[in-house]
């Protein structure tokens, strides 16, 4: 099915099942420990051996020699895979660095060997006996020192590095009120709870991997390329994924080394990345240095908007697209943005939840707060004043829907924004109290997505698609979609995901999953409805409801259409140019209240509210969870998350969950989320958009602005830790 | 701060003793592999018997096997999760003789005769424990990987409060602690949820505790 004209009314609009805050259908499995994750599939292949990964101890250079004798002789060892004996391996299209390094080393903890043994304990012990001598090379590890060498990168995924409208320099120089400030955001780690893990088994020349991966078809393709075997010979199965956040978009060392290990050991091999290896071995959100210049009239109209960002990555990598939202978020006639990319020999930078917007808004939304203060205008009012209903770079192009102002105004009302005091004056006992606001913005993306639906005699509808559920609620919203389309209750729908044998879906990334994958299910259900009507000899306008198909006076049980055998339909939703004709984006406003200890500078988040406008919300319960989870990650980015770079040796020092601090229960208060009532007919027949990334956009800036409001101390370098406040806090009375 | 070159020069002096000139590429020996390779010996094993979810289990294990790996790899009770294997995340939380512990931080052979309750022992999809049911109702999870640990912890936390065990945030150590959100957040902070379901998890626990959320 091709979606090239805005949706009119369709069965989803009934909203009998779609749009309801249904409990997740996979909930009973997840809460009882019976949902099978990758490393746990004891049932899928007999005689599984254990692989343990060895990571490089240098960041750049080469392996001078490797002595495997002791490791090979260790108890239980079956095989050792290294670049020396693995055969020819191509680099996947989605990887910047090789998944198996050697002799050349591209980054610290790049995998250089897999030791396979009968037991986990034996593999781990033997891995420590692999003796490596390195020839260390010189690398660049310090972004601030490297920005002078940064170059203008190529466009990535259609995002040009630079943009310019009007005459920014002249308008900024002429602006009566100016802000020119520099902000930094550190490297971040996905730190999902389930380590990257895979069980691999070969049958002849056919490979099956049970793994934890967000994008099944991409990864099958990359595995085929890496191993030099046909895609048809590879099956990925990833029904449950213990978190991804972008960290499992692509194949990582676990899946490649499990496949190579299984080949070498001639038996199935399971590999999980040890937690202390994950942060340097896999990808991270790159640090940024950002300069923002805002020029405004005295009454608060933006006349000049300039946003520059510098980031680094390995050779061949891309920039963190931190200026992307600035091209679309606020009005203003004179604009410029620029991204520059330096070569850094740190581990590979890549997508993490809301790549670009997450760090970009961390800076931009502090800048807007600073400008509001210079102007003496309320920060909510300033944002409302500079709203635009059209693409500011191409005013002929309007937003498909844009309710940013309503998000801000609704939030201000619900949060009690009018009670916000001047910086540094509100007190609650020992706490300095402040409120902050930030806009949230993230583009909506659609991707083609296919599904197969089966109708059984029993009336049960089974959906099959290689779509993944990374905690997002995919199982449930796909079941809701199929139930609504076929007129059956939710418990008559079975959803099977994550198997590359199923039709290729959009996968989970870029907050495109919910709308795209359900649109694919919609398309397949339209075909199944046609098959049912034809089989039953009913009029084509038959109504599917209550487990029955009704046309005129006839009412037939849905399952009757499959009386002579299962009915199967498959289709793929594809997209025309609606996303080019109008700008499809998602919007929100974050409100945060913090308390800052007047003596110690300890920062506590006291209240959080998000108001989101993101099209039709397919399941408000699951969508709310996406948003509160993103708010939590945003609070982490504001207050604690920072990969500490060892600039001498080129690695992230705090490479485990003790050193890389993420929010825990005690850090997070009760969170409130409001979804504005929306349905966007330009996005798909589902009229939905994404929320999983929108939720993190702007959160950290709202926290930062609240800290400023509480203390009068402006911190422009994340994370905002108490050492950056001490000595600057208001005098004790 | 030392530069890599300084560091290598000083280390090479000790470890290699060579007279190589300073270059951008230098050797960094890691470990000393000079000794003859010792013959492989089978690792020591030991027998251990304990009760898991009411069933007596006997295992002969490599003594290095953690309780977590005994459950997951030997008994195939994979509901208990390995998130970090270093006691940092709480995904492996199980209840041993009534107390919650990180099963990755303890060797299986140390638990002779003890009673272990895992997530599988609390309930099943068809017959969920009240806490499991509350997590579903309040959407107290997303990816599900930390969830068994959160639930085992939550069940034990309510028992701890009932038993009068104080926490870091208990204001009055002489009085019985009560189920408040602040108490729950403090006591649950050893269980990380990167999906960020905390707000919902606390709602689920307060629901089970019969306290107004």
Give residues 38 to 67 of B whose Cβ lies within 8 Å of A.
Answer: 38-43, 62, 64-65
Asked whether residue B38 carries a pLDDT value surpassing 60, the answer given is no
- Confidence tier at A156 by pLDDT (50, 70, 90): confident
> Are residues A471 and B81, on separate chains, in Cβ contact within 8 Å?
no
Alpha carbon distances (Å) from A458 to A325, A452, A494, A560, B116 = 49, 18, 12, 8, 42
User: CB of B3 within 8 Å of any CB in chain A?
Assistant: yes
> Are residues B184 and A245, on separate chains, in Cβ contact within 8 Å?
no
* Chain B contact set for A65 (CB, 8 A): none
The mean of the pLDDT values for chain A is: 97
* Chain B contact set for A32 (CB, 8 A): 79, 119-120, 122-125, 128, 132, 148
> Are residues B201 and A242, on separate chains, in Cβ contact within 8 Å?
no
List beta partners, residue A341.
A151, A311
CA distance A26 to A476: 7
Average pLDDT on A382-403 reads 97
Tracing tokens 């003859």 back to the chain, one arrives at: B36
Q: Which residue has the higher pLDDT, B33 or A139?
A: A139
> Are residues B189 and A664, on separate chains, in Cβ contact within 8 Å?
yes
Confidence (pLDDT) at A205: 98
Closest Cα of chain B to A59: distance in Å? 11
CA distance A518 to A501: 18
Tracing tokens 């090979």 back to the chain, one arrives at: A72
* Chain B contact set for A39 (CB, 8 A): 82
* Chain A contact set for B132 (CB, 8 A): 28, 31-32
> Are residues B40 and A73, on separate chains, in Cβ contact within 8 Å?
yes
Among A28, A31, A620, A641, the residue to mutate for chain B (most B Cβ within 10 A): A31
Average pLDDT on A28-35 reads 98
Coil/strand/helix, residue A199: strand
Confidence (pLDDT) at B14: 41
Are the beta carbons of A270 and A165 closer than 8 angstroms? no
Closest Cα of chain A to B182: distance in Å? 7
Tracing tokens 């939710």 back to the chain, one arrives at: A490
CA distance B17 to B3: 20
CA distance A371 to A303: 12
Residue-range domains of chain B with CATH: 41-122 (3.10.20.30), 123-213 (1.10.150.120)
Catalytic residues of A: 693
Size of interface A-B (CB pairs under 8 A): 256
> Are residues A656 and B88, on separate chains, in Cβ contact within 8 Å?
yes
Are the beta carbons of A319 and A311 closer than 8 angstroms? yes
DSSP-derived secondary structure letter, B44 = P
A216-227 vs A253-265: helix axis angle to the nearest 10?
A: 50
Residue of A nearest to B25 (CA): A137
Q: How many CB atoms lie within 10 A of CB A408?
A: 27
Q: Which residues are CB-contacts of B179 (< 8 A; sequence separation ≥ 6)? A: B158, B161, B205, B206, B209, B211
Confidence (pLDDT) at B9: 43
As a residue count, chain B comes to 213
Please state the pTM of the whole predicted model: 0.95
List beta partners, residue A646.
A651
Coil/strand/helix, residue B61: strand
Average pLDDT on A307-314 reads 98
Q: Which of B2, B84, B123 lies closest to A657 in CB terms?
A: B84
Closest Cα of chain A to B201: distance in Å? 9
For A705, the token pair is 């602005």
Residue of A nearest to B41 (CA): A75
> Are residues B144 and A31, on separate chains, in Cβ contact within 8 Å?
yes
> Are residues B196 and A138, on separate chains, in Cβ contact within 8 Å?
no
Q: Which of A32, A275, A624 lies closest to B123 in CB terms?
A: A32
Q: How many CB atoms lie within 10 A of CB A484?
A: 30
Query: Side by side, which strands form the sheet with A334-343?
Result: A162-165, A334-343, A302-313, A288-296, A177-185
> Are residues A194 and B81, on separate chains, in Cβ contact within 8 Å?
yes
Average pLDDT on A108-131 reads 98
Average pLDDT on A245-271 reads 98
From A50-59, A116-125, A169-178, B5-14, the region with the lowest mean pLDDT: B5-14
Structure-derived torsion over alpha carbons of residues B80, B88, B140, A17, reported in degrees to the nearest 10: -80
What phi and psi values does residue A642 have, to the nearest 5 degrees? -165, 120
* Chain A contact set for B86 (CB, 8 A): 275-276, 656-658
Which parts of A315-426 are beta strand (E)? Answer: 334-343, 390-391, 394-398
Are the beta carbons of B93 and B105 closer than 8 angstroms? no
Q: Which of B25, B76, B142 lies closest to A136 in CB terms?
A: B25
Average pLDDT on A293-307 reads 98
Q: Which of B33, B120, B186 lies closest to A67 in CB terms?
A: B33
Are the beta carbons of A19 and A620 closer than 8 angstroms? yes
Q: Which of A120, A121, A243 lies closest to B195 in CB terms?
A: A243
* Chain B contact set for A624 (CB, 8 A): 139
Coil/strand/helix, residue A563: coil
Q: How many CB atoms lie within 10 A of CB B56?
A: 9
Q: Which residues are CB-contacts of A638 (< 8 A; sequence separation ≥ 6)? A: A362, A699, A700, A701, A703, A704, A718, A719, A720
Residue of B nearest to A673 (CA): B199
Q: What is the pLDDT of residues A138-151, one digit of tens each?
A: 999 999 999 999 99
Q: What is the pLDDT of residues A79-88, one digit of tens each?
A: 999 999 999 9
Q: How many CB atoms lie within 10 A of CB A391?
A: 16
Closest Cα of chain B to A522: distance in Å? 24
CA distance A70 to B9: 28
Confidence (pLDDT) at B23: 37
CA distance A410 to B107: 54
CA distance A644 to A646: 7
Confidence (pLDDT) at A157: 74
Q: What is the pLDDT of residues B54-95, one digit of tens each?
A: 999 999 999 999 999 999 999 999 999 999 999 999 999 999
Which parts of chain B are beta strand (E)? Answer: 26-29, 45-52, 55-62, 93-96, 99-102, 115-117
From A612-621, B27-36, B40-49, the region with the lowest mean pLDDT: B27-36
DSSP-derived secondary structure letter, B138 = T
Buried b (16+ CB within 10 A) or exposed e, A655-691: bbbeebbbbbbbbbbebbbbbbebbbbbbbbbbbbbb
Give residues 75 to 114 of B whose Cβ lies within 8 Å of A.
Answer: 76-86, 88-89, 91
CA distance B88 to A658: 6
Closest Cα of chain A to B12: distance in Å? 12
Closest Cα of chain B to A222: distance in Å? 25
Confidence (pLDDT) at A631: 98
* Chain B contact set for A514 (CB, 8 A): none
Confidence (pLDDT) at B107: 98
DSSP run (H or E) holding A234: strand A234-237
Coil/strand/helix, residue A471: coil
* Angle, CA B37 vertex, CA B32 and CA B39 arms, to 5°: 145
Give residues 130 to 169 of B whose Cβ lies within 8 Å of A.
Answer: 132-133, 135-137, 139, 141-148, 151
B198-209 vs A620-639: helix axis angle to the nearest 10?
A: 120
The mean of the pLDDT values for chain B is: 87
Asked whether residue B12 carries a pLDDT value surpassing 60, the answer given is no
Average pLDDT on A326-353 reads 98
Alpha carbon distances (Å) from A536 to A2, A539, A543, A550, A561 = 26, 9, 13, 10, 6
Residue of A nearest to B189 (CA): A665
Alpha carbon distances (Å) from B131 to A31, A621, B115 = 9, 18, 20
Residue A719: cis peptide before it, omega within 30 degrees of 0: yes
Q: Which of A621, A648, A670 lies closest to B139 in CB terms?
A: A621
- Confidence tier at B34 by pLDDT (50, 70, 90): very low
Are the beta carbons of A463 and A733 closer than 8 angstroms? no
The 3-class secondary structure across A495-509, one letter per residue, is EEECECCCCCCCCCC
Coil/strand/helix, residue B4: helix
> Are residues B192 and A664, on separate chains, in Cβ contact within 8 Å?
yes
Confidence (pLDDT) at A158: 77
Q: Shortest CA distance to A228 belongs to which of A90, A85, A102, A86?
A: A90
DSSP run (H or E) holding B154: helix B147-162
CA distance B72 to B64: 14
Closest Cα of chain B to A253: distance in Å? 17
DSSP-derived secondary structure letter, A688 = B
Asked whether residue B16 carries a pLDDT value surpassing 60, the answer given is no
Are the beta carbons of A614 and A43 closer than 8 angstroms? no
Q: How many CB atoms lie within 10 A of CB A564?
A: 9
For A159, the token pair is 């995002």
* Chain B contact set for A274 (CB, 8 A): 85
Buried b (16+ CB within 10 A) or exposed e, A48-71: bbbbbbbbbbbbbbbbbebebebb
Confidence (pLDDT) at B39: 56
- Confidence tier at A733 by pLDDT (50, 70, 90): low
Burial class (CB in 10 A: 0-12, 13-18, 19+), A648: middle
Confidence (pLDDT) at B29: 47
Confidence (pLDDT) at A732: 78
- Confidence tier at B19 by pLDDT (50, 70, 90): very low
Q: How many CB atoms lie within 10 A of CB B186?
A: 18
> Are residues B186 and A665, on separate chains, in Cβ contact within 8 Å?
yes
Asked whether residue B24 carries a pLDDT value surpassing 60, the answer given is no
């Amino acid at each position: 099915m091709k979606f090239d004209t805005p949706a009119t009314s369709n069965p989803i609009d009934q909203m009998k099942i779609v749009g309801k805050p249904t409990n997740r259908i996979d909930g009973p499995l997840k809460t009882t420990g019976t949902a099978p994750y990758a490393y746990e599939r004891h049932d899928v292949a007999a005689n599984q051996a254990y692989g343990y990964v060895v990571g490089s101890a240098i960041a750049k250079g080469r392996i001078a020699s490797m002595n495997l004798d002791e490791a090979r002789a260790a108890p239980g060892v079956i095989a050792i895979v290294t670049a020396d004996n693995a055969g020819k391996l191509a680099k996947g299209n989605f990887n910047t660095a090789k998944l198996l390094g050697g002799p050349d080393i591209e980054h610290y903890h790049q995998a250089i060997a897999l030791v396979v043994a009968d037991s986990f304990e034996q593999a781990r012990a033997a891995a420590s006996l692999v003796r490596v001598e390195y020839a260390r090379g010189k690398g660049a590890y310090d972004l601030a020192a490297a920005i002078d060498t940064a170059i203008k990168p190529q466009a990535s995924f259609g995002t040009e590095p630079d943009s310019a409208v009007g005459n920014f320099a002249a308008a900024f120089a002429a602006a009566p009120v100016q802000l020119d400030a520099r902000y930094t955001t550190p490297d971040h780690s996905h730190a999902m709870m389930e380590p990257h893990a895979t069980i691999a088994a070969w049958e002849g020349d056919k490979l099956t991997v049970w793994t934890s991966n967000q994008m099944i078809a991409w990864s099958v393709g990359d595995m085929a390329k890496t191993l030099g075997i046909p895609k048809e010979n590879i099956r990925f199965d990833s029904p449950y994924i213990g978190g991804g956040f972008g960290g499992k978009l692509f194949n990582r060392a676990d899946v490649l080394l499990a496949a190579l290990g299984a080949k070498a050991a001639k038996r199935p091999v399971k590999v999980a990345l040890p937690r202390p290896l994950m942060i340097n071995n896999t990808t991270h959100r790159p640090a940024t240095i950002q300069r923002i210049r805002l020029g405004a009239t005295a009454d608060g109209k933006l006349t000049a908007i300039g946003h520059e960002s510098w980031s680094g990555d390995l050779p061949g990598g891309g920039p963190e697209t931190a200026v992307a939202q600035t091209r679309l978020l606020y009005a203003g006639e004179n604009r410029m943005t620029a991204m520059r990319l330096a070569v850094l020999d740190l581990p590979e930078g890549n997508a993490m939840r809301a790549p670009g917007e997450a760090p970009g808004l961390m800076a931009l939304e502090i800048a807007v707060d600073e400008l509001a203060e210079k102007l003496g205008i309320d920060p909510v009012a300033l944002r409302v004043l500079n709203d635009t209903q059209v693409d500011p770079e191409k005013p002929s192009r309007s937003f498909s829907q844009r309710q940013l102002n309503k998000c801000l105004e609704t939030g201000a009302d619900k949060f009690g924004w009018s009670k916000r005091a001047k910086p540094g004056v509100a007190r609650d006992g020992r706490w300095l109290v402040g409120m902050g606001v930030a806009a949230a913005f993230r583009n909506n993306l659609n991707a083609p997505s296919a599904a197969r639906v089966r109708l059984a005699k029993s009336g049960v509808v089974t959906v099959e698609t290689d779509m993944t559920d990374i905690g997002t609620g995919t199982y449930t919203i796909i079941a809701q979609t199929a139930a609504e389309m076929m007129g059956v209750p939710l418990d008559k729908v079975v959803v099977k995901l994550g198997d590359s044998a199923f039709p290729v879906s959009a996968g989970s990334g870029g907050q495109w999953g919910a709308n795209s994958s359900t649109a694919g299910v919609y398309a397949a259900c339209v075909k199944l409805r046609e098959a049912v009507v034809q089989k039953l000899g009913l009029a084509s306008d038959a109504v599917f409801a209550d487990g029955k198909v009704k046309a005129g006076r006839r009412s037939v049980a849905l399952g009757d259409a499959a009386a002579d055998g299962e009915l199967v339909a498959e289709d793929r939703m594809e997209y025309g140019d609606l996303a080019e004709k109008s700008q499809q984006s998602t919007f929100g406003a974050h409100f945060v209240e913090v308390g800052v200890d007047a003596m110690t500078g300890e920062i506590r988040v006291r209240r959080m509210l998000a108001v989101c406008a993101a099209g039709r919300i397919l399941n408000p319960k699951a969508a709310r969870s996406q948003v509160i989870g993103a708010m939590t990650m945003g609070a982490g980015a504001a207050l604690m998350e920072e990969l500490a770079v060892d600039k001498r040796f080129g690695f992230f020092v705090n490479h485990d969950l003790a050193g890389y601090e993420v929010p825990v229960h005690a850090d997070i208060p009760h969170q409130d989320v409001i979804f504005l009532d929306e349905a966007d007919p330009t996005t798909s027949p589902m009229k939905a958009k994404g929320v999983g990334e929108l939720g993190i956009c702007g959160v950290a800036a709202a926290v930062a602005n609240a800290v400023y409001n509480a203390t009068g101390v402006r911190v422009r370098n994340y994370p905002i830790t108490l050492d950056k406040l001490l000595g600057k806090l208001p005098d004790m009375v | 701060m030392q530069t890599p070159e300084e560091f290598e020069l000083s280390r090479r002096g000790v470890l290699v003793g060579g007279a190589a000139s300073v270059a951008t590429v230098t050797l960094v020996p890691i470990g000393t592999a000079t000794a003859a390779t010792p013959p492989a010996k089978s690792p020591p094993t030991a027998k251990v018997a304990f009760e898991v979810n009411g069933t007596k289990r006997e295992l002969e294990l490599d003594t290095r096997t953690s309780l977590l790996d005994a459950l997951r790899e030997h008994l195939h009770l994979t509901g208990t999760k390995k998130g970090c294997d270093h006691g940092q995340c709480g995904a492996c939380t199980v209840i041993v003789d009534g107390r919650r512990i990180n099963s990755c931080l303890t060797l299986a052979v140390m638990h002779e005769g003890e009673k272990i309750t895992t997530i599988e022992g609390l309930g099943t999809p068809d017959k969920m424990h009240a806490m499991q049911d509350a997590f579903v109702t309040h959407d107290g999870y997303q990816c599900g990987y930390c969830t068994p640990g959160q639930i085992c912890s939550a069940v034990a936390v309510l028992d701890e409060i009932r038993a009068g065990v104080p926490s870091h945030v208990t204001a009055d150590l002489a009085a019985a602690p009560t189920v408040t959100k602040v108490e729950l957040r403090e006591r649950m902070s050893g269980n990380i949820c990167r999906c960020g379901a905390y707000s919902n998890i606390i709602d689920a626990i307060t629901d089970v505790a019969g306290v107004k959320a």
